[in-house]
Amino acid sequence: MGNKMVMISFVVVGSLLMAAMADVDLSRDLEITWGDGRARMVGNNNNDNDGHILKLSLDRDSGSGFRSRNQYLFGKIDVQIKLVPGNSAGTVTAYYLSSLGLTHDEIDFEFLGNLSGEPYIVHTNIYSQGKGDREQQFYLWFDPTKNFHTYSILWNPHNIILYVDGTPIRVFKNMESRRIPYPKSQAMRVYSSIWNADQWATRGGAVKTDWTQAPFVASYRNFNALHACISTNSSSSSSSCSSHQQQPWMKHSLNASGEAMINWVQKNFMIYNYCTDTQRFPRGFPPECSSP
């Protein structure tokens, strides 16, 4: 598949996703959890209060955040985000699924801010039973501050797939047969926040937050968890998904086309992969890094 055809596929898939998602009232599914007024729900024209857009802001005193009202055990969850424009160095906008406790599970998108004109870095990580350290980082093939783009997490018993505008960028497969823990029994909420991390976020902390640019604002719309199993408690078993067992997303894995797309993205846009970091793992990579 040539570069031109791949990029055309990205644009077409992303455009279809954007067109298919109608504006929804975010207050139905999401609740603001912190920020002392720095997070707010507004209308599409910023003048009414229909809750179609949620804005998180960060200033020198505090960031802000929200979470989903429901917790989920497996699902396909989407949200559209427009990231902080301009000089966002030192800031992090996080969007992730997480359970609670020392042995928590977690699936992360973290968007690391930049100096004006430089690309955002998408930092991803996956925790299972309290163990993370599975970082992969990517540049995006578009400016994520100009328009809303769709970021998706597909989580089922077989694999976790992270998508950007419908394009897979990362997959973490269930390898319990090799004694590698996999998130499957802890319900997780969706969380998002914006916060200051200038000790590490931009060029390893070399570039600090310019507070003259504050407030830093990220915008959200079209949260969609219709294809997800709502769980009533944090320790639910897979039985809470009984009504979804026959849904296509519960069995979805990447086909040959999906594998080709993820390989192309990782070849051209991946800038860090823990599975190739010999300095960090001089005695050998984690077991999930090797093919079965």
What amino acid positions are annotated as catalytic residues?
A: 106, 110
What are the tokens at 96? 């992730």
Alpha helices in the chain, H assignment, sequence order: 3-20, 256-269
Task: Name the phi and psi angles at 19, rounded to 5.
Answer: -70, -30
DSSP 181-213: ----SS-EEEEEEEEE-TTTTTGGGTS---GGG
Burial 144-167 (b: 16+ CB within 10 A, else e): bbeebbbbbbbbbebbbbbbbbbb
Taking the C-alpha atoms of residue 151 and residue 221, their distance in angstroms, rounded to an integer, is 11
- Count other C-beta atoms under 10 Å from residue 256's C-beta: 7
Q: Interhelix angle for 256-269 vs 3-20, to 10°? A: 110
Phi, psi of 212 (to 5 degrees): -70, -15
Residue 258 has φ and ψ, to the nearest 5°, of: -65, -40
CA distance 13 to 37: 36
- Of 93, 152, 102, nearest to 128 by C-alpha is 102
